[in-house]
Amino acid sequence: MSEEVLTSVEDGILVVTINRPEAKNAMTKAAAEGIAAAMDRLDADDSLRVGILTGAGGTFCSGMDLKGFLRGESPSIEGRGFGGVVQKPPVKPLIAAVEGYALAGGLELMIACDLVVANKDAKVGIPEAKRGLVAAAGGVMMLPDQIPERIAMELALTGDFISAERAYELGLINRVTDGSAFQGAKELASRIIANGPLAVRVSKQIIKESRGWSMDERYDRQAQLIGPVFMSEDAREGAAAFAEKRAPNWKGK
């Protein structure tokens, strides 16, 4: 894996760190490849339950590396999009831990994650229009799904940044921390890991996919996904653990 992306494992959490602090973690092709590989590892390894995506040196990601862009380089992976993740996020939960700036492609990375924890001093935005560009890695499409359309329109057309507190008020992020966003993300991850992995995975899948289902088919399609969960060993273990007043021992099957 590229040194532009570092990975480590902590208590079932795969920590993925964009490691270009000298360039405010601007996204390159190599970094995108590193993130894509990390997402494959997250989904393939049963011992990994949650991923955290963060940036080194006090910045999440400042967007596309413009020097690479001028050389004709695209920081995208075919079929997976910008940063190796925006078009194809992992099946397992992914949390963004945001310090400093999440701008342009950095914001698009952030909103591709399932949950977001940000330090109170963080700033987010899609300033592409200020450079004659468009937030094409999902920003102008995904933001209106996550915040009111008029606010998304303002961010896209002005290119202005907003604070973590404002993003929290809009529902764009989950938690604002006074201290380390990474530590806040780890605490949130630990709460997810305490739950049944099958239930977590299918809950995420339904939330993501059901917005495209018609009202007539919703419950039938949900039933197809949750049936195996209700018949699983983990479902029986969860009930037994509750009855016996102990922590469950999840097997993921």
Query: Whats the size of the chain, residue-wise?
Result: 253
73 catalytically annotated:
no
Residue 41 CA from chain centroid, whole number: 15
Number of separate helices (H) and strands (E) present in the chain = 10, 11
Query: Residue 8 in contact with residue 41, Cβ under 8 Å?
Result: no
244 catalytically annotated:
no
Query: Residue 236 in contact with residue 250, Cβ under 8 Å?
Result: no
Alpha-carbon span 208 to 190, nearest angstrom: 22
Nearest by Cα to 112 from 141, 135, 85 = 85
Identify the bridge partners of residue 162 per DSSP, sorted by sequence position.
Answer: 124
Nearest by Cα to 193 from 42, 6, 84 = 42
Nearest by Cα to 73 from 65, 84, 63 = 65
**Catalytic member of 4, 33, 99, 128:** 128
**Catalytic member of 108, 165, 187, 217:** 108
Query: Residue 62 in contact with residue 103, Cβ under 8 Å?
Result: yes
**Which residues are known catalytic residues?**
108, 128
